[in-house]
Structure 1
Amino acid sequence: MAHEIVIAQTTSDDEGQATMLARGAVESKLAAGVHIDAPITAFYWWKGKVEAAREWRISYMTTTDRLPALEAWVHEKHSYDVPQWITLPVTGGSEAYLSWVFEETESD
């Protein structure tokens, strides 16, 4: 397969926003599919102190070709000043699934 598949992740402290970020990315064909994990507890440094928050992890299945557009879209729609944005390479998987991700993210 010529295109690489990646999983990109962000988080949100609002379940409604997590749903919007997931659904919008799929509707825009920026991601083939998205998982929203049940609430997790995050601890992090912010403005000089340790914070704790309940968050939903949003994982996008996409291609390296669509990744820049997905990242720009998420940053535009996200309410955080500095949203988490990480990408994880997919180093294997079923050919059928990987092909599906590619086909569903092809821009029209």
Structure 2
Amino acid sequence: MEMVMVYTTFPDWESAKKVVKALLEKKLIACANLREHRAFYWWNGQVEEDTEVGALLKTTVEKWKELREAIREMHPYEVPLIARIEVDKVNSEYAEWLEKVLS
């Protein structure tokens, strides 16, 4: 089992919770951490500033492609960030829990 984390952002708490709960129910992720932050970005030729909810999703490399597609289908953004972050090392107890939850 190889763990990866996936990072994405949402426009609000409601959409973040809705998508995360669906991903948990589909067993595509074992856990998620949500955090509100200020976002600054280019959109339609100008700099925008807004509040977003960042989601750090924990899963396995085997679930990556299915997870990416599920996020694309459910995500409210026209151009969502879906970034896979490789995990070099993780403690064995957490890795065992992750594998158990997602099997």
Tell me the TM-score normalised to structure 2 length.
0.94
> Counterpart of 2:2?
4
Superposition misfits of 4+ residues, deviation over 2 angstroms: none
Superposition deviation, residue 103 in structure 1: 2.0
Matches within 5 A, 1:81-100: 81-100=78-97
Aligned-partner SS, 1:31: coil
Of 11, 33, 36, 1:35 maps to: 33
User: Unaligned stretches of 5+ in structure 1?
Assistant: none
- Check the 8 A contact 1:22/1:35 in 2, yes or no: no
- Report the Cα distance in structure 1 between the residues aligned to 2:42 and 2:102, rounded to whole angstroms: 35
* Identity level (%): 29
**Larger helix fraction of residues:** 2
Tell me the TM-score normalised to structure 1 length.
0.90
Superposition deviation, residue 93 in structure 1: 1.8
Q: How many residues align?
A: 103
- Report the Cα distance in structure 1 between the residues aligned to 2:20 and 2:47, rounded to whole angstroms: 28
Aligned-CA RMSD value: 0.9
